Structure 1
Amino acid sequence: MSLSPKLPDWMEEVGPDLYCIDCDYVQPRLACVYLMINDAGRAAFLETNTSRAVSRFLEALKVLGYSTDDVDWIIPTHVHLDHAGGAGALLRECSRATVLAHPRAAKHLINPDRLIQSSIQVYGQETFEKLYGEIVPCPESRVRIMADGESLHWGNRTLEFLYTRGHANHHFCIYEKTSGVFTGDSFGIAYPDLQSGGPFLFASSTPTDFDPPAAHESLDRIRNTGTGSVFLTHFGRLDSLEEAGRQLHESLQFLTGLYDDARARFKSAEDKAAPELKQSLEEEVRTRILDSWVDQLLSRGFPDASAIQERLGMDAALNAGGIVFAAQRSLKKG
């Protein structure tokens, strides 16, 4: 086995025996999966993206001189389909592997019908199939639930599981002390092509569990591990954690203001369930989010506002949808 194999351009070593695999989801360098190897030559995948990326994960094993029989663990941070959509398909290829999951996520990995139907309602059948491909159920016997704070000793590595609500109620992060924290969506988004003017991160408020106070607590929990590095699913390794944490808390405060405004609009409306009200609020919130990001990036030296709008339009729409959904649901709860 080569000590320094030639890596394809979609694969990068981001730590000792730790590799970032670009899933080419929607576009390059938007979503990744991490492949970790321990001192016994055993492998773990952290995140699974979609079934359309599984062939790339198998190729990554082969590049490093490993096979699917060497995979012990498959670990999605939560069941949003850009993180867990490929879990069942990858598990099917890795006959000795076990999926490690949050208890609220496990049931959807075992029976993904609800996830599939809700996603089809959002995207439509054609776009759903283009984005996610086949969603394969995970056999219940091959799914292990991890408790909050539970540690898994695995060769020279220890994986500690930290429940981190705010983005999703079924979200956990994985803290591996020799590497850092694998944060899923709990430590924001930092696309590599937007970092040339300095760190630029923003919080994710995608539907349906956005909870600002819990998201602030999760940021602090990650920082309080004392780690020097985090590994974002969107995207890559990040070491400037003090500045990142400051930006993310500010981002959450901004999103909370939008949530409060949307909630007030719903509360004052005669027909709180009117589809046109929800639609107009989502568009208004999306515009305010996108304008904020454009202003920040222009101040960092990015020359083209229209290019920024095109690059981040999908993220702004997803964040807006989550904020408006949460605001409307809060009134239904009373």
Structure 2
Amino acid sequence: MHGLIGFGSGIYAVDSGYTGPDVAAIHLIEEGGRAALVDTGNNESLRYVLAALAETGLTPASVDYVLLTHIHLDHAGGAGAFMQAFPNAKLVVHPRGARHMIEPSKLFAGVSAVYGPERARALYGELVPVPAGRIVEATDGLELDLAGRTIRVFDTPGHARHHVCYFDTCSRAFFTGDTFGLSYRTLDVAGRPSIFPTTTPVQFEPDAMHASVARMEAEQPTAMYLTHYAQVQDVPRLAADLHRLIDAHVAIAERHVAAGANRKAAIEADIWTLVGEEAQRQGWTVPEAEWRRILALDVELNAQGLDVWLETRDRA
């Protein structure tokens, strides 16, 4: 599916098509005939967003903001292409990420180190630079005006130091990127979502992630809109699970701190054990082969991130 899912209050999710259906959502916020988009997927995602705008009666000229939660390319790979398509838009991005939107070569080199050059190019294509004059730095507390609707920036490190979340004061909901974890709709049980943290390389910091989640909890949000994937409610329960699972990931990493060359593989095996325990705790109804397929890339990246975290923590 690549059409709109409407949640009320002018908020929609558009499937970006990134690596398959129901993996990564781009969120559309509409107010008074003006629009903001949260995250971009990759270059190929643009066509789905253009179709979604047309379905709501909006045009490319209606887009005032492209809001990046952070610059990992499943969230920001299409930013340059989006800015070419939306002539009136400003790109809003963490100050640490702005220079990489202007000159994305180091960003692509970094993702190539994680995925390998061929896979990175297949996933993201050519990254399009964004002119510096069209960038707004997303500093903590910045308020953006969308046709009278206020969207506030929260600096939320933990997944990455260049991560922000956006609080929509109209719906009192957050657009959380990866800071509030992953929650795939296929794993819902009778409409009840599960949550799982994302500790991907290279800037996972557990204390910061706990603090960012707690800071958002304190606003008593009505919902969280996750890039992976779309709306979740029952925020207090999910936040408690997220805190618990962040600690579980840290415990796994510390258990293998001296594992040497086999450390990443040992961490990954233990994360799969944790996922199996969570499947039982949450009562997932999909077969094990299916939840392994859904979470395969996330588990691999979480293990890489924990391995890197141990290295950087030990050097500090």
User: Same-fold call, TM > 0.5?
Assistant: yes
The answer to whether the aligner puts 1:111 opposite 2:93 as a matched pair is: no
Q: Is the 8 A contact 1:177 1:227 kept in 2?
A: no
CA displacement at 1:261 relative to structure 2: 2.4
**In terms of Rg, which structure is larger?**
1
**Paired position in structure 1 for 2:3:** 10
The answer to whether the aligner puts 1:260 opposite 2:254 as a matched pair is: yes
Secondary structure of 1:324 counterpart: helix
Between the aligned partners of 1:301 and 1:80, the Cα distance in structure 2 is: 29
Q: Which amino acid aligns with 1:98?
A: K
Write out per-residue CA displacement over residues 223-273 of structure 1, whole angstroms, 9 at most, x where no aligned residue: 11121111011001111111101110001110111232233x16xx6xxxx
**Paired position in structure 1 for 2:273:** 291
1:1-334 matches, within 5 Å, as: 10-39=3-32, 41-179=33-171, 180-196=173-189, 198-263=192-257, 265=258, 277=261, 280-299=262-281, 300-302=283-285, 304-333=287-316
Q: Which amino acid aligns with 2:267?
A: V
CA displacement at 1:15 relative to structure 2: 2.1
Q: Is the 8 A contact 1:36 1:43 kept in 2?
A: yes
CA displacement at 1:329 relative to structure 2: 1.6
Write out per-residue CA displacement over residues 197-222 of structure 1, whole angstroms, 9 at most, x where no aligned residue: 63311111000110000000000011
CA displacement at 1:309 relative to structure 2: 1.8
Q: Is the 8 A contact 1:298 1:304 kept in 2?
A: no
Q: Which amino acid aligns with 1:233?
A: T
CA displacement at 1:301 relative to structure 2: 4.5
| Bigger mean CA deviation after superposition, 285-294 or 76-85 | 285-294
Q: Which amino acid aligns with 1:123?
A: Y
Between the aligned partners of 1:33 and 1:126, the Cα distance in structure 2 is: 25
**Paired position in structure 2 for 1:5:** none
Structure 2 unaligned blocks of 5 or more = none
Q: Is the 8 A contact 1:294 1:308 kept in 2?
A: no
Q: Which runs of 4+ in 1 moved over 3 A?
A: none
Structure 1 unaligned blocks of 5 or more = 1-7, 270-276
Between the aligned partners of 1:321 and 1:107, the Cα distance in structure 2 is: 25
Between the aligned partners of 1:83 and 1:49, the Cα distance in structure 2 is: 5
Q: Is the 8 A contact 1:182 1:231 kept in 2?
A: yes
Secondary structure of 1:15 counterpart: coil
CA displacement at 1:25 relative to structure 2: 1.1
Kindly tell me the number of residue pairs found equivalent between the two proteins: 313
| Bigger mean CA deviation after superposition, 219-228 or 307-316 | 307-316
Q: Which amino acid aligns with 2:94?
A: H
Q: Which amino acid aligns with 1:212?
A: P
Secondary structure of 2:256 counterpart: helix
Between the aligned partners of 2:63 and 2:291, the Cα distance in structure 1 is: 39
Q: Is the 8 A contact 2:187 2:284 kept in 1?
A: no
| Bigger mean CA deviation after superposition, 55-64 or 161-170 | 55-64
Between the aligned partners of 2:255 and 2:43, the Cα distance in structure 1 is: 38
Percent identity over the alignment is 30
Secondary structure of 1:255 counterpart: helix
Write out per-residue CA displacement over residues 61-118 of structure 1, whole angstroms, 9 at most, x where no aligned residue: 1111211111110011000000011111000111111101110011111111111112
Secondary structure of 1:227 counterpart: coil
Q: Is the 8 A contact 2:35 2:65 kept in 1?
A: yes
- Shift in alpha-carbon separation, 1:226–1:328, aligned structure 2, 3 A: same
Between the aligned partners of 2:112 and 2:284, the Cα distance in structure 1 is: 39
Q: Which amino acid aligns with 1:70?
A: S
Between the aligned partners of 1:165 and 1:196, the Cα distance in structure 2 is: 30
